[in-house]
């Protein structure tokens, strides 16, 4: 094992541990809950260091294969949980971290089902646009996971005074999530053109992403033009999230797509 590999595994373990302990701390009695966010921050920092170390091991940005993508996705989800908690009372409540931290751990654990060794990338795949596309995509998934958390929070909320705050948080996350999803599709479109000379290919990943994009576009129209808010909007958001889940992860299980990275890559 090389030095960078050792560093990677150490940081990976530290990141998983920090995230786990931070998540657990949030369920403890109040004085101990204060340790939750610092632990999450430490966990995120370790995961980020792990991603950098993995990049040094693989000689490229770590966006190839299920294992590396679960690392990135998990890191972005933890980061989203941390950033959302910097806000008003609703955001500062531990609700988001309590929901998103376990999701991040689940995502990291899913990576263990896939080959863990660094996979090579073909010359065709070695384009900075591919890295941009992957990073924007995982940031978007984390924000959409945040909409799920906000929707659950709105539905569980029993205080009328907080309904507006939950609604505002959900609306902001929906807007940011849709913007990032549009950017993911746009960057993916450019990347596809570089690789195949085609802007859009009717493969399963593009099709499911289009479905998710349409679902969130419908949500925003309901919000902007039909003034949906509160619990109605939250329920609609919950209904749309499974599409996002499928769009972002179907490539890990369905092999008949160029996005299926856990296999030998060819330029074509």
Partner 1 sequence: MSLWNRLVRWLASPALALTIILSALGLVLLTLFPLQFFGIPADQIARLAYRSTPFVVLYVFLACSTVACFRKRLKTLPRLLSSSPRLVNRNVEVLIPRAFDSVEAERVFRKAGFRYISRSGQSVRATIRPWAPLGTFLFHGSLLVVLLGGVVSQLPGTSYAVRVRVPEGERLGTPASGSVETIRGDRRDIRLPSFVMSDLQGTIGAEGPDKLSVEVETDSGTTRRFTAGWPWFPDLTTMVAAEDFGASAIVSLESTDSATTLATKRIDLDHYGPQRTRYIEMHAGGKRYRVGAVTPDEDRSEALPGGVVVSLSEKDAGADEGWKQIARPALLAEGAARSTEEVVIRLDELKPHAVLRVSRTPAMPLVLLGLIMAAVGVLLRLVFFRVEATVEARGADTIALRVAADVNRTSGRLRDELIRAWGVEPHDDL
Residue 69 CB, shortest distance to partner 1, in Å, is 18
* Residues contributing to the site for partner 1 (CB under 8 A): 87-88, 119-128, 130, 161, 164-165, 167-168, 171-172, 175-176, 178-179, 182-183, 186, 189-190, 193-195, 197-199, 201-204, 207-208, 210-211, 214-215, 217-218, 220-227, 229, 254, 256, 264-268
Measure the CA dihedral 108/111/116/121, to 10°. -110
Which is closer to partner 1, CB of 19 or CB of 157?
157
Which is closer to partner 1, CB of 1 or CB of 202?
202
Q: Tell which residue, 79, 77, 73, 62, has the closest CA to residue 116.
A: 62
Which is closer to partner 1, CB of 18 or CB of 140?
140
How many whole angstroms separate alpha carbon 220 and alpha carbon 179?
11
Which is closer to partner 1, CB of 172 or CB of 231?
172
Which is closer to partner 1, CB of 1 or CB of 267?
267
Residue 158 CB, shortest distance to partner 1, in Å, is 16
Residue 166 CB, shortest distance to partner 1, in Å, is 10
DSSP states of 3-55 as a string? HHHHHHHHHHHHHHHHHHHHHHHTTS-HHHHTTHHHHHHHHHHHHHHHHHHHH
Provide the token pair at 151.
Answer: 């929707």
Residue 252 CB, shortest distance to partner 1, in Å, is 15
How many whole angstroms separate alpha carbon 144 and alpha carbon 157?
20
With b for 16 or more beta-carbon neighbours within 10 A and e for fewer, the 70-88 pattern comes to bbbbbbbbbbbbbebbeee
C-alpha 114 chain-centroid distance: 18
């Amino acid at each position: 094992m090389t030095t960078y590999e050792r560093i990677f595994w150490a940081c990976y373990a530290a990141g998983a541990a920090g995230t786990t302990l931070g998540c657990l701390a949030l369920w403890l009695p109040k004085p101990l809950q204060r340790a939750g966010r610092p632990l999450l921050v430490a966990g995120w920092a370790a995961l980020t260091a792990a991603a950098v170390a993995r990049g040094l091991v693989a000689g490229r940005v770590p966006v190839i294969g299920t294992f590396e993508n679960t690392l990135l996705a998990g890191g972005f989800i933890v980061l989203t949980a941390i950033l959302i908690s910097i806000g008003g009372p609703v955001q500062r409540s531990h609700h988001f971290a309590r929901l998103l931290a376990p999701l991040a751990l689940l995502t990291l654990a899913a990576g263990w089902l896939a080959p863990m060794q660094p996979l090579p990338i073909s010359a065709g795949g070695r384009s900075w646009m591919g890295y941009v596309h992957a990073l924007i995509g995982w940031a978007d998934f984390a924000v959409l996971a945040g909409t799920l958390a906000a929707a659950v929070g709105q539905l569980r909320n029993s205080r009328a005074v907080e309904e507006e705050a939950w609604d505002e948080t959900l609306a902001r996350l929906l807007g940011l999530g849709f913007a990032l999803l549009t950017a993911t599709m746009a960057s993916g479109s450019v990347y596809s053109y570089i690789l195949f000379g085609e802007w859009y290919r009717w493969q399963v990943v593009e099709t499911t992403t289009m479905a998710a994009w349409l679902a969130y576009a419908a949500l925003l129209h309901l919000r902007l033009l039909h003034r949906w808010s509160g619990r109605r909007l939250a329920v609609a958001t919950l209904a749309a999230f499974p599409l996002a889940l499928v769009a972002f992860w179907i490539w890990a299980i369905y092999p008949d797509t160029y996005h299926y990275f856990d296999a030998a890559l060819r330029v074509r």
